[in-house]
Amino acid sequence: MDSITGMYAMNFCEYLLKQPPSLPALCAGGETITYAQLVSRAAVYQRRLERSGLQAGARVLLLLAPNMEFYLLLYAMLGAGLVPVLVQKDMPRQQLRSCLKQARLSAMIVAQSAGKYWYLLPELWRVRRFTLDTLRLFTAPLAQAVPEIDGATFCVKALDDEATALLTFTSGSTGTPKGVVRSHPSLLAQCQAMSHFFAHRQQRDVTSFPILTLFSHFHAGCCYLLPTFDAQGRLPVQMIAGAINAQAITRLSVSPAWLKELVDYADVQQCRFPAVREVIIGGAPVTRLLLLAVQRYFPRATCAVNYGASEADPISNVDIDELLEAWDRQPGYLVGRPGPETEILIVRGRDPQPAGEEGEIWVSGPQVLTRYLNNPQAEQLTKIRDLAGRVWHRTGDSGFLDAQQRLWLTGRIADRLRTPSGLTLSPYPVEKQLNGLPGIETSAVVEGPQREICVVLQQAAQCHAAAPLMATLFPGEPVRFWLCAKLPVDARHRSRIDRARLRCLLARRKLKAFFQEV
């Protein structure tokens, strides 16, 4: 069988080849390349990888910012059957070492300032190390291609259906990060699941989710503007805001933190973004204030909230008009209905729950990834096969289905609070009410060292505003208020509150108490 007849590998990469060649594909640093140029330049990288001795099946860590070269390398590797390994920027060192140990790397490729201190990670000492730009200690330049010898035809290598195509890791928010294994068929299934919710083709996009670019290029012929972050990883909000109108950006796929920076900038500058036709929000719960701001500053856009997980994305989706209309009807956050072929169960123990009952969210569908990297214990715990042979992924999230079979989130199972009186509560419904009070935009509710209910806010005035509500919601329960000038958030999306970190700070008495009890 030749290099372009593998059923699934061909299908995935052939979509890239089938896009109209003259369509723009990527825009970064003032440069825009078409799909024809993307394929041609990725083909050159394939020759460079081959000349560097990297063959199909090799796992290669990519330590690059999500820029033009990153995507060229990503496509080159996927087409050639190499396995790109991606780790989260700013991951704690202990978790990063765990990821690298699991990955069993063959090589690493670095560029710019990324990977500057690789020698501090023993897991990288024995792998081959390549650089795309300036030479670093004990690294070699990636070999150059010789066009007259190598040619420049993009290769799509036939692979076994179960062969690993891409290796990423969970956030590790509840423990050790797990290696998430994607095959070419699973990439295809994820793209098809996304196309139900995001059907518009040939958009001009900005996204805060780097892997989403891969999926939309595959299926919808979109062009992505790649932001250039500063040395601290901060969003270049002025550049993006200017580019949205100047370059007719038509879709945003962003985390709540990204979106808040954009609408705050728009509020100060008194500008709007009428070119945008679609706003997709994901990665963390969204406040009502932010949703209303989206409607104000993106007046012609349809807006939706997407819910998913590293191992199952997308799971469900809801239009924000429906979300705002239903806002006060139920506790928690509405995240909508699943797409075709996706099923959701609410489970307590191993028993499915009826509508209205809270439990763990389980999901099944073609886009659900069925295995982790060398982690049978995690698979046994979170991948449940039913009598029909379907695999159900345990998300670790808590929630319920309403009478219309819409999914509502109430938090993470690991973040539930259990008070001395025996009361069990999930954080999202309480925080949702707190965030609706005047002067409060973000709050956190976590279990304290003595199993008390701890409310963490940013200002003393917010504690005064929150105290009557908490006394009404939890009469007789120990409630304490704490001040934290900047609530810790996850490193991936910078939007989700890092509750494990807050619990640690409370246990170590690192937060300032406002007053002891209500």
For residue range 424-474, list pLDDT tens digits in order: 999 999 999 999 999 999 999 999 999 999 999 999 999 999 999 999 999
| pLDDT at res. 10 | 52
Per DSSP, helices labelled H in 175-332 are 184-197, 210-220, 237-246, 256-269, 288-297, 320-325
pLDDT given at position 494: 80
* Torsion angles phi and psi, residue 135, rounded to 5: -70, 140
Would you say residue 175 has pLDDT above 90? no
Cis preceding-peptide flag for 177 (omega within 30 of 0): no
Residue 337, C-beta contacts closer than 8 angstroms, at least 6 positions apart: 316, 317, 318, 405, 406, 407
- Count of CA atoms in the C-beta half-sphere (13 A) of 284: 25
Confidence of residue 395 (pLDDT cuts 50, 70, 90): very high
Examine the pLDDT at 231 and tell me if it is beyond 90. no
Confidence of residue 149 (pLDDT cuts 50, 70, 90): low
pLDDT at 28: 85
Domain ranges across the chain: 7-169, 188-412, 416-513
For residue range 301-315, what is the model confidence (pLDDT) as tens digits?
A: 999 999 999 899 999
Inter-residue contact 492 to 88 (CB < 8 Å):
yes
Rounded CA-CA distance 444/481 in Å is 10
pLDDT digits (tens, 9 = 90+) for 94-112: 999 999 999 999 999 998 6
65 pLDDT more than 90? no
> So what's the pLDDT on residue 454?
97
Residue 209 confidence class, pLDDT cut points 50, 70, 90: confident
The pLDDT value recorded for residue 6 is 38
Residue 82 main-chain phi, psi, to 5 deg: -75, 165
* pLDDT score recorded for residue 4: 35
DSSP 3-state of 352: strand
Question: What is the architecture, at CATH level 2, of domain 7-169?
Answer: 3-Layer(aba) Sandwich (3.40)
d(CA 276, CA 245): 8
Residue 298 has pLDDT above 90, yes or no: yes
pLDDT score of 518:
45
- In tens, the pLDDT along 234-270 reads 678 888 898 888 888 899 999 999 999 999 999 999 9
**Given this model, what pLDDT does residue 224 score?**
81
Residue 517, pLDDT > 60, answer no
Percentage of residues in the chain having pLDDT higher than 70:
92
Q: Do 188-412 and 7-169 fall under one CATH topology?
A: yes
pLDDT at 8: 41
User: CA–CA distance from 388 to each of 10, 278, 391 (Å)?
Assistant: 30, 38, 9
How much is the pLDDT for 477? 95
DSSP H helical ranges for 331-437: 376-382, 427-435
Q: What angle do CA 432, 237, 249 make, to 5 degrees?
A: 95
* Separation CA 454–CA 448 (nearest Å): 6
Mean pLDDT within 480-492: 91
> Contact 167/183 with Cβ under 8 angstroms?
no
Comparing 5-19, 114-128, 315-329, 478-492, which segment has the lowest mean pLDDT? 5-19
CATH topology of domain 416-513: GMP Synthetase; Chain A, domain 3 (3.30.300)
Contact (CB, 8 A) for 149 and 44: no
Nearest to 320 by CA among 285, 354, 351, 274: 285
* Coil, strand or helix at 495: coil
Pick from 296, 313, 312: nearest CA to 253:
313
Q: Hey, what long-range contacts does 102-106 have (CB within 8 A, 24 or more apart)? A: 102/169, 102/179, 102/373, 102/374, 102/375, 103/59, 103/61, 103/167, 103/179, 103/373, 104/59, 104/374, 105/59, 105/60, 105/61, 106/54, 106/58, 106/59, 106/60
Mean of per-residue pLDDT scores for the chain: 89
Q: What integer pLDDT is reported at residue 1 of this predicted model?
A: 32
Homologous superfamily, domain 188-412: ANL, N-terminal domain (3.40.50.12780)
| Higher pLDDT pick, 455 / 200 | 455
What does the pLDDT read at residue 216?
A: 65
C-alpha to C-alpha distance for 79 and 326, rounded to whole angstroms: 45
Closest CA to 37 of 27, 19, 50, 25: 25
Closest C-alpha among 240, 95, 174, 197 to residue 395: 174
Enter the tokens of residue 437. 């009070």
Which residues share a beta bridge with 347? 352, 360
* Predicted local distance difference test score (pLDDT) of residue 233: 59
Model confidence over 315-366: pLDDT tens digits?
999 999 999 999 999 999 999 999 999 999 999 999 999 999 999 999 999 9
Q: How many CA atoms lie within 13 A of 359 on its CB side?
A: 19
Please tell me the distance from the alpha carbon of residue 378 to that of residue 301, in angstroms, as a whole number: 40
* Average pLDDT, integer, range 490-506: 89
Per DSSP, which regions of 329-368 are E strands?
333-338, 343-348, 351-352, 359-364
Name 349's Cβ contacts closer than 8 Å, sequence gap at least 6: none
The pLDDT of residue 49 is 96
CB atoms within 10 A of CB 237: 17
User: Which pair of tokens denotes residue 237?
Assistant: 């909000």
SS3 content of the chain, % helix, strand, coil (to 5): 35, 25, 40
Res. 507: pLDDT tops 60 = yes
